[in-house]
Structure 1
């Protein structure tokens, strides 16, 4: 087991009107998060402004022998709660910029701790949009706003964030058919050496989601048409909207390096099945997502991830 409790939160700000995702990885094997919602629209309208907050609960399976003496070993995490706050703004109809920062609450059997994580700034650039098929590219950076401090529950160190400037690149594709939307994206963050010149692992995510609009609402969904085929909206828009969705979310984390040595009890590939719904009213939206792990390829001895529960509150201006 590691001598340091490592907890890194990378908040991956979303590219659709009412969907965001956060990926969370920890040395205790907490696993990954999931996408909340997709509607096949990749950038905000020009001058559209969105404020969003997410409450994300992650359970951790205690599949290793329990720790009884925290003076010799770290107290493993049993769960964590991540409260995120973010903003998005449409610079043009093809360029959306966003920022999101998490605050993390860690829970163990011997005590709890908390701290602010790294701020992520991300740009989404639409490069193709025709016949309801869209393609966008992403680029951004994770800024070292996270904390490093002594733990409240044992004699180790709690690290929330990497302590380094880490570039990110991604790609998003979407296809819409009337009330259906299929969206897929991939994003890679290259982690550079951070706190105490340690390497806290690069990360890559993949997400595929299929959504169905039971009732098309007005929140975050201005009337979007393909000017080459039609200049009238194809669906009736109401104040109340309801969308259901499901899909798959995968995350790969590289092994950590501390004091120049690779930690073989770190890093993984995890995959989650996701299911949720999004209810919107006027300019408000409330996505709720449940995810269950279906793939857990952990390196070495680590506690595995459990279920995830995620609730969002989003307001468009």
Structure 2
């Protein structure tokens, strides 16, 4: 059943339907219809003192809850004040939906008061962005924004809404399906590649696990621990991956890179097979790429196809959700374990004595 309501109220209904219980923002002229609509709505709004802090708070909310963080800013300077934090959430793969107000549709492109090309400015610092041109499109766009922000490699999505769309009346019908041609999320990983990875790992004498923020984003900490114990491999976690492996676990070494430990960096330099899980081979970890892990065959698992091979060409690429890939790898490795246990024990003892 549809209900006639303003675009502002429609937006609030959409947020509630997406599971939003609070959002962060700072009001301005073109977003006042949204703030007026909040008087009749139970959704919680946290008032900040600067738009950048709204986006920063949304990042923290997303990290702490695992849900999509939501922030709101007005047009022009309000929207541009979000940019730094949008870039941060894009680089750190944090799911955020940023809602920005825009001048009325008929004034777009006229250099109106507090007008900025928010849509153009944010193309490079968001996973995707939208401009709502008709109130009837609002529910579908909001639903797509949340789906894109939270699926695949998480990231920020911006929805730019002109003031007249906030004020326009329309029939709200909840969106129950989604169809995004050209947007496909690879989660399972290629079965053949995963089998090849299991063989490479068991054949390795000096395996090494290089885990990043993808472990945290995928909720794959338990699978990582099981994998490390099955293979008896040293594990290092990047800054974004810290917490993915308990610091007191016997297989955990430390953080790698320029701020990491000697043991972590020397181990990475001397391994023969590196299992890279949800990492981007950041320069703060690798240093000079040509000298990074020079003897290692690299297995790179990442949900974002653009990351695989971007900085270091892997010997075995696997595009998929690291949690699902590790589940399959662990199953294969468990089946192989009885055949390899004795040989592996001697190899690992020698490797661990070198690492420690």
TM bracket (short chain): under 0.3
- Decide which structure has the larger Cα Rg and report it: 2
Question: TM-score if structure 2 supplies the norm length?
Answer: 0.22
Question: TM-score if structure 1 supplies the norm length?
Answer: 0.23
Select the structure that is richer in helix: 2
